[in-house]
Structure 1
Amino acid sequence: MTPKPDNTPEKPVETLTEAEAAAELERLANEIAFHDERYHTEDAPVISDAEYDALRRRNLAIEQRYPDLKRADSPTGSVGAPLAEGFAKVRHAVPMLSLAKAYTDQDVVDFLERAKRFFERDKDFDIAFTAEPKIDGLSASLRYENGVFVQGATRGDGTVGEDITANLRTIADIPHRLKGSGWPEVIEIRGEVYMTYVEFEALKERSTAAGGQDYVNPRNTAAGSLRQKDPAVTASRNLKFFAYAWGYTTADPAPTQYEAVWKFAEWGFQVNPLMVRAKSVDELIAQYRLIEEKRSSLGYDIDGVVYKVDQLELQRRWGFVTGEPRWAIAHKFPAEQATTTVIRIDIQVGRTGTLAPVARLAPVTVGGVVVENVTLHNEDYIKGFDSNGQPIREGRDIRVGDTVVIQRAGDVIPQIVDVVIDKRPQDAMPYDFPHVCPVCGSPATREVNEKTGKEDSRRRCTGELICSAQAVERLRHFVSRGAMDIEGMGAENIDLFFNAGLIDTADDIFTLKDKRVEAQEALAKRREEQARQREAVSGKERKNVRSVDQRNFEGLDKLFAAIDARRKPELDRFIFALGIRHVGDTTAALLARTFSTIEEFIRVGKETAAAEDPHTVFPSINGIGDTVIGALIDFFGNERNDKVLDDLLEHVHPKPYVVNVSADSEVAGKTVVFTGSLEKMTRSEAKAMAERLGAKVAGSVSAKTDLVVAGPGAGSKLKTATELGIEVIDEDAWLERVRGSV
């Protein structure tokens, strides 16, 4: 699933019916999971921080209004995304949490007012705060035992991170042994790994000279550098580290946040010199303005200022809420803007057939990055009105030749925020969005939502399997990191082998080594072309140490080995790799857990597609609604997909999905329903615990339910359980019951 911005106004939470709220929670869970994966795992975000935060706020508001509808895969309280492959897991002794966001001065005023209200009964109360730059890099936690660095990890999902100790040891700012004295027996120093502008530009130059990849921005490059499997590659990137917090420790480093951070400096860490201590809103905002003014001259990326309650005792008293500390907030900077012109508008076709318009711009620098392309989302966005006739950008359409104001939302994603009508050329014509696919010529239509009767904001190619653009995008998705994760078979090689006629559908990937000679010739042709381009730029002839043929053979051997290594993938990865609409990685995991084998998944899928009422066949799965069921019907109801699946399964044998069940579990085999608010664990944690112990977690209460765990705010489900005589216990009783099994 690849969510795209939809300009249909959102219905206010307080007006949602229960059915609408359930559908909206399903949409939000899938969309937030997608964006978590793009940001935290792939280091390639596609929306701004503000847009992402708005999704999470809406999700929380709906859950608070309808607590019984909270999903097993709810993003509430979660941080980050699933871990990348290739690294051992590290469980954080103290979770690495995200921060609440402030976008205006009034948000900061509100933050301080909340603090004062919470502590208003304290006599002679004197609260202080720290303010420091918010570094735009990758969070890391460093464990020191008796002053020696023993383990380092990424934030991961906030609870479990990736062990990147070897890579962190290559960073000069991270001491292998603490200096000075007075450090606790054990302490986890936390901070941000980042890349300076100078190092980023040097890396880009080296990569360009070698014909390598193009790097987008320092933050994503730093994150990718830290996840290298070869520490020598990480070392070559000259990464930096600022220390600003800590996790588990056997003793507080100091009584206050400010003193603790300067202790880190004594122990050999780099700390940010712009951190100050303040007591009033005016002082905090003054530091925000100062840091914002210095931002362009710092030499590294920051995207705001973090305020924290200074006294550690007060931090502990104020506590946490929904995965965030109450005592800290990040005051984000507004996006930087620039003006440029629209040269042309191109249409790209995605793997699900979506026609995605892209504006090609006269190059312009925004926030230190040259921007030449910007997404226009859909045809309504270009027209300046959404499908309900509501204006976008004050109803100003976008035309070729227009002067536009752009900004990098969240300092990452370029977007058009305004059109300068006064500078519009007299001959500029409204853009005529194509009604046929520019790649295959098939009709491109806008679907109508059967429930709402509204037209979808996106136009899609109906060519499906005859559309080469969709075929390429499906293949790219199939081999991607979150799907089959075939190392070395990236977008560039997919394009190369597809255009050479060597792969057409996913099963062709697994017979590619039977076409070794043709593959070698295609690679050699590309390498020769790249070499000619480098010679044309540098004016220097290349000096081959090894022949092109030799390198091609070595590269192919590694690629074929990587392909063979993925012939028995995990079931959830395989289902996700199929590219079924609305089936993201989270939904794929739910399907894998429910059906256990690929054969059972296909059987139920086909029977569901053939049934008059799909609900009589497809089981009730908490977290999967009509949208996903409809997508499965479309997929399994298409005979062409049957052949693709059959051909693929001749070469690929997904492993059964196995849940490890505790042998002495008292709830094994029972159907459990969680309802109301849980206070000692998240709903996702409770569900995972129950399934680990062999229980089945259902979303609704029926005569088949064995046990209901009810927290505060339990509503209709508790009432139904009482009427049916089903055993009902509270959260404490549940934890006591499973204590000997977990």
Structure 2
Amino acid sequence: MTDAQTAATRIAQLRSDLDQHNYRYHVLDEPSIPDAEYDRLFHELKALEAEHPELVTPDSPTQRVGSLALSAFGEVKHEVPMLSLGNAFAEDDLRDFDRRVREGLADELPAGDLFGGGASVEYSCEPKLDGLAVSLLYRDGQLVRGATRGDGSTGEDISVNVRTVRNIPLKLQGTGWPAVLEVRGEVFMSRAGFERLNASQLEQGGKTFANPRNAAAGSLRQLDSSITAKRPLEFCCYGIGQVQGELPDTHVGILNALKAWGMPISRELKLAKGADECLDYYRDIGERRDALPYEIDGVVFKVNNLAWQRELGFRAREPRWAIAHKFPASEELTELLAVEFQVGRTGAVTPVARLRPVKVAGVMVANATLHNMDEVARLGVMVGDTVIIRRAGDVIPQVVQVVLDRRPADAKPVEVPQNCPVCGSHVERTQLIKRSKGRETVSEGAVYRCVGRLACGAQLKQAIIHFVSRRAMDIEGLGDKSVEQLVDEGLIHSPADLYKLTFEQIVELEGFAELSSKNLLAAIENSRKPELARFIFALGIPDVGEETAKVLARSLASLQRIKQALPEVLTYLPDVGLEVAYEIHEFFSDSHNQTVIDQLEQVLDIQGQGELGAEYAASTTLAGLIDKLHIASVGPTGAKTLAAKFDESLEKLLAADWLDLRQTLSEKPANAVRDFFAVAENRDRALKIEAQLRDFGMHWQSEKRVVEGLPLAGQTWVLTGSLEIMSRDIAKEKLESLGAKVAGSVSAKTTCVVAGPGAGSKLAKANELGVKVLDEAEFLKALEGFGIGVA
């Protein structure tokens, strides 16, 4: 055997031994050799690799020292979004969560006992570590990528840095792991590691960190990974993302499998049945919180059964099957020195407390939110008061109470400025309009608003920061400070001015050079053809998030229709309530907004516009229109009776006399209908709504149709059970791209159900109704038939 062969054999043995010792130390907490012996083996391996550099591999234990500094982090799109969790702050919140889970699983749970006790749901219980959420991607057992959570959809590529974290395996232990396995967890810093780091920083004259979370986040996002390698970071796994292969069918089962493959999981992991046992776990770990070697800010409870998780699904950006039960926030006393007012994107003038700096839960706090003037009045706070400050959820500082017996004689009341502190425009109090059957009730709102709109520098800056953000127009290179410079220099006065910027204007700005200026202009140019949904979201319409923007774009499919849409017409769209509908309508009715949108239409080529979504063609009824008029004493049943009586004709209904109405309805609703339409404004509104429905093609007499090029247009699909090749969210996106509507329940109108393992009541309902059912393999084959890839 040659020297090289002998070295290769010894290197392989050392790597195997060190990997096993790492596993026993970090995962099992059962070290098998002293630290000195581990160090001897490590240095022997390092020396052999130095003699034989051709034998060095990326998964060697020696390859955790970091490398040359990066110029920037790349982007990583999460195939399965990294969602946030809903929060519980009180016992009742957790019990409400458990009740919602049981209601959502009513068809899956056993009936319970004879004395009325319902069946309990089994939950996994884990401490909520206070660190930075990361994703680790393994292919064939090898670590190939690490990424931050980012905004949940897109994170930063920190692959080089995660490789330096000692207890993250560079290759998985054992056998049987999936070919593709994305592990998710928290990178954190123990209390002892944090203290050592700060002591080292002080010795070197460096900056100390406020708390372990900030230290962990800052360490993991170092462009120079050799710095990260020196930081005492640890990793704890709490779940998975994308997977190609078999895994256990429970959350705890998956975590135990990951532990067997070398992945550290929480030593506090337990199972609990029902809310009472969850609360017992919460109280127990809360009592031991300060004695734990790391900081936690609560407990995470998850439905343990994965099939039940899939049945419960998601709400907006959070799962219905998990919740974070936060610990009570840390509190401190301090003095309120002043109250200043900030102006936000929508013009809201918000009070901010300026405090005598005080450390709260390890963070120095000098400012706190007061929310609005109603909150100021509720607290009875005055400038000069001693107040109690809390870090809500251990994150956002807020004023929670005034210590009245410490109020000084010269305390001053908090007063809203009459003029905007930024632009000097008038500040007015908003009005709340509550709409109910036949009337509107107007009351004063809690928010004060600057009327300056885009003439106000603060509103303009915030509007443009939102407009250029990643999930809106996605103009890379325009950070908050750059936007502020552009506004302060008078180079932009509306979002449309971004498209008039020149190289000469940008290169003169602080922080810009020739290359970055060219890159910014290229990014602006690349944003000239936004999809309609992105454009709508970028406008920053109050209460219109990404999902509502997608609904507007997919349904009305035209900026012109969206601009014209009446509130009652908008409420025909899914998940658009009356209040949101009025916000949308009022936004597009505002003359300032109309000017800005006109300017944008001149410089942009908005994509994804065309005919009305096929499922909305001829989708309305006269009964539905009557019901949306909110006539007192006339509900959906009365509306249907009127529509049938007058041959689905609004014109005939308006022409009806009292006798016709009385023959159709009882006296009270008949009088209500007569009185309602006796008001000219109400008659005109009803006719205007009908005219728009006809103009849009939504009228009940319009022609039903299917949009060409979308093979599933007009169809309704339902996803249930487990999908192993792709997530249900991705499957939903692919179906929607083909024109299908993806619903959450099965009915006679359902076109097809995609049922994976664990499908329950929805599959049974589909079989009962004779609805077509596909398994995942058949579904993927169908997608490929439409030219849709499954990767």
The TM tier, using the shorter chain, reads 0.5 to 0.7
| 2:32 alignment counterpart | none
Q: CA deviation at 1:268?
A: 3.7
Matched, 1:498 2:487: yes
User: In 1, distance between residues paired with 2:93 and 2:545?
Assistant: 37
* CA 641–297 in structure 1, closer or farther in 2 if over 3 Å, else same: same
* CA 426–581 in structure 1, closer or farther in 2 if over 3 Å, else same: same
Q: CA deviation at 1:242?
A: 0.7
| 2:502 alignment counterpart | 513
Q: Secondary structure at the match of 1:622?
A: coil
Q: Secondary structure at the match of 1:504?
A: coil
| 2:469 alignment counterpart | 480
Matched, 1:322 2:363: no
Q: CA deviation at 1:335?
A: 1.2
Rg larger in 1 or in 2? Answer: 2
Which of 557, 561, 571 is the matching residue for 1:604? Answer: 561
| 1:435 alignment counterpart | 418
Pairing 1:235-274 to 2, within 5 Å after superposition: 240-245=234-239, 257=252, 264=258, 267-274=261-268
Q: Secondary structure at the match of 2:383?
A: coil
Q: CA deviation at 1:350?
A: 1.3
Q: CA deviation at 1:464?
A: 2.0
Which of 422, 426, 432 is the matching residue for 1:449? Answer: 432
| 2:170 alignment counterpart | 176
Q: CA deviation at 1:102?
A: 7.5
Pairing 1:677-692 to 2, within 5 Å after superposition: 691-692=736-737
* CA 605–428 in structure 1, closer or farther in 2 if over 3 Å, else same: same
In structure 2, give the amino acid aligned to 1:733: V
* CA 155–708 in structure 1, closer or farther in 2 if over 3 Å, else same: farther
| 1:584 alignment counterpart | 545
Q: CA deviation at 1:686?
A: 9.7
Superimposed CA distance per residue, residues 225-268 of structure 1 (whole angstroms, 9 cap, x where no aligned partner): 8799998998798753112455758666899949x767755644
Superimposed CA distance per residue, residues 436-462 of structure 1 (whole angstroms, 9 cap, x where no aligned partner): 322233322223233232222111112
Superimposed CA distance per residue, residues 398-446 of structure 1 (whole angstroms, 9 cap, x where no aligned partner): 1101111121111111112211111111221322222332223332222
Q: Is the contact between residue 147 and residue 183 of structure 1 (CA under 8 Å) also seen in structure 2?
A: no
Superimposed CA distance per residue, residues 523-570 of structure 1 (whole angstroms, 9 cap, x where no aligned partner): 17xxxxxxxxxxxxxxxxxxxxxxxxxx73344333333333323333
* CA 645–191 in structure 1, closer or farther in 2 if over 3 Å, else same: closer
Matched, 1:366 2:366: no
Gap regions ≥5 residues in structure 2:
1-72, 114-120, 436-440, 615-705, 753-765, 784-791
| 2:576 alignment counterpart | 624
In structure 2, give the amino acid aligned to 1:553: E
In structure 2, give the amino acid aligned to 1:104: E
* CA 275–647 in structure 1, closer or farther in 2 if over 3 Å, else same: closer
Q: Is the contact between residue 137 and residue 192 of structure 1 (CA under 8 Å) also seen in structure 2?
A: no
In structure 2, give the amino acid aligned to 1:503: I
Q: Secondary structure at the match of 1:358?
A: strand
User: In 2, distance between residues paired with 1:109 and 1:507?
Assistant: 47
| 1:193 alignment counterpart | 186
Pairing 1:101-140 to 2, within 5 Å after superposition: 103-104=90-91, 132-140=126-134
In structure 1, give the amino acid aligned to 2:540: G
Q: CA deviation at 1:272?
A: 3.7
In structure 2, give the amino acid aligned to 1:604: R
* CA 574–234 in structure 1, closer or farther in 2 if over 3 Å, else same: farther
Q: CA deviation at 1:119?
A: 11
User: In 2, distance between residues paired with 1:85 and 1:595?
Assistant: 36
* CA 581–176 in structure 1, closer or farther in 2 if over 3 Å, else same: same
Q: Is the contact between residue 353 and residue 470 of structure 1 (CA under 8 Å) also seen in structure 2?
A: yes
The Cα RMSD (Å) is 5.7
Q: CA deviation at 1:357?
A: 0.7
Q: CA deviation at 1:184?
A: 3.9
User: In 2, distance between residues paired with 1:256 and 1:621?
Assistant: 36
Which of 345, 356, 359 is the matching residue for 2:350? Answer: 356
Q: Secondary structure at the match of 2:552?
A: helix
In structure 1, give the amino acid aligned to 2:582: G
Q: Is the contact between residue 132 and residue 307 of structure 1 (CA under 8 Å) also seen in structure 2?
A: yes
Q: Secondary structure at the match of 2:336?
A: strand
Q: Is the contact between residue 139 and residue 190 of structure 1 (CA under 8 Å) also seen in structure 2?
A: no
Q: Is the contact between residue 164 and residue 227 of structure 1 (CA under 8 Å) also seen in structure 2?
A: no
Which stretch of the first structure deviates more once superposed, 268-277 or 320-329?
320-329
Q: Is the contact between residue 90 and residue 161 of structure 1 (CA under 8 Å) also seen in structure 2?
A: no
| 2:672 alignment counterpart | none
Q: Secondary structure at the match of 2:492?
A: coil
Q: Is the contact between residue 320 and residue 326 of structure 1 (CA under 8 Å) also seen in structure 2?
A: no
User: In 2, distance between residues paired with 1:586 and 1:228?
Assistant: 34
Q: Secondary structure at the match of 1:343?
A: strand
In structure 2, give the amino acid aligned to 1:147: G
Aligned length: 570
In structure 1, give the amino acid aligned to 2:739: G
Q: CA deviation at 1:648?
A: 3.1
Superimposed CA distance per residue, residues 300-352 of structure 1 (whole angstroms, 9 cap, x where no aligned partner): 5422234679xx8xx57987762389998754311111111111000111121
* CA 417–665 in structure 1, closer or farther in 2 if over 3 Å, else same: same
Q: Secondary structure at the match of 2:170?
A: coil
User: In 1, distance between residues paired with 2:321 and 2:742?
Assistant: 35
Q: Secondary structure at the match of 1:243?
A: strand
Q: Secondary structure at the match of 2:416?
A: coil
Q: Is the contact between residue 383 and residue 412 of structure 2 (CA under 8 Å) also seen in structure 1?
A: yes
User: In 1, distance between residues paired with 2:263 and 2:313?
Assistant: 27
Q: Is the contact between residue 360 and residue 373 of structure 1 (CA under 8 Å) also seen in structure 2?
A: yes
Matched, 1:418 2:401: yes
Q: Secondary structure at the match of 1:708?
A: coil
Which stretch of the first structure deviates more once superposed, 96-105 or 494-503?
96-105
* CA 154–494 in structure 1, closer or farther in 2 if over 3 Å, else same: closer
User: In 1, distance between residues paired with 2:83 and 2:342?
Assistant: 38
Superimposed CA distance per residue, residues 121-165 of structure 1 (whole angstroms, 9 cap, x where no aligned partner): 9xxxxx99975422234555545455333566777999x886958
Q: Secondary structure at the match of 1:641?
A: helix
Q: Secondary structure at the match of 1:568?
A: coil
In structure 1, give the amino acid aligned to 2:187: Y
User: In 2, distance between residues paired with 1:478 and 1:253?
Assistant: 43
Which of 622, 638, 655 is the matching residue for 2:607? Answer: 655
Q: Give the TM-score taking structure 2 as reference length.
A: 0.58
| 2:5 alignment counterpart | none
| 2:532 alignment counterpart | 571
* CA 152–650 in structure 1, closer or farther in 2 if over 3 Å, else same: same
User: In 1, distance between residues paired with 2:265 and 2:368?
Assistant: 36
* CA 620–245 in structure 1, closer or farther in 2 if over 3 Å, else same: closer
User: In 1, distance between residues paired with 2:568 and 2:281?
Assistant: 58
Superimposed CA distance per residue, residues 583-618 of structure 1 (whole angstroms, 9 cap, x where no aligned partner): 32222222222344xxx41x335545xxxx6657x6
User: In 1, distance between residues paired with 2:728 and 2:541?
Assistant: 27
| 2:521 alignment counterpart | 560
In structure 2, give the amino acid aligned to 1:399: M
In structure 1, give the amino acid aligned to 2:387: V
* CA 696–730 in structure 1, closer or farther in 2 if over 3 Å, else same: farther
User: In 1, distance between residues paired with 2:141 and 2:729?
Assistant: 36
Q: Secondary structure at the match of 2:608?
A: coil
Q: Secondary structure at the match of 2:555?
A: helix
Q: Secondary structure at the match of 1:356?
A: strand
* CA 229–455 in structure 1, closer or farther in 2 if over 3 Å, else same: farther
Using the aligned pairs only, state the percent identity.
Answer: 37
User: In 2, distance between residues paired with 1:468 and 1:494?
Assistant: 11
Pairing 1:273-284 to 2, within 5 Å after superposition: 273-275=267-269
Matched, 1:460 2:449: yes
* CA 422–306 in structure 1, closer or farther in 2 if over 3 Å, else same: same
User: In 1, distance between residues paired with 2:418 and 2:708?
Assistant: 58
Q: Is the contact between residue 528 and residue 603 of structure 2 (CA under 8 Å) also seen in structure 1?
A: yes
Q: Is the contact between residue 86 and residue 229 of structure 1 (CA under 8 Å) also seen in structure 2?
A: no
User: In 2, distance between residues paired with 1:741 and 1:436?
Assistant: 61
Compare relative contact order (CA 8 Å, sep 6+) and give the higher one, 1 or 2.
1
Superimposed CA distance per residue, residues 24-70 of structure 1 (whole angstroms, 9 cap, x where no aligned partner): xxxxxxxxxxxxxxxxxxxxxxxxxxxxxxxxxxxxxxxxxxxxxxx
* CA 254–588 in structure 1, closer or farther in 2 if over 3 Å, else same: closer
User: In 2, distance between residues paired with 1:284 and 1:697?
Assistant: 34
Q: Is the contact between residue 272 and residue 278 of structure 2 (CA under 8 Å) also seen in structure 1?
A: yes
Superimposed CA distance per residue, residues 642-681 of structure 1 (whole angstroms, 9 cap, x where no aligned partner): 44334334433333369999x999994764579xx99669
* CA 129–155 in structure 1, closer or farther in 2 if over 3 Å, else same: same
User: In 1, distance between residues paired with 2:75 and 2:609?
Assistant: 20
Q: Secondary structure at the match of 2:749?
A: strand
* CA 579–274 in structure 1, closer or farther in 2 if over 3 Å, else same: closer
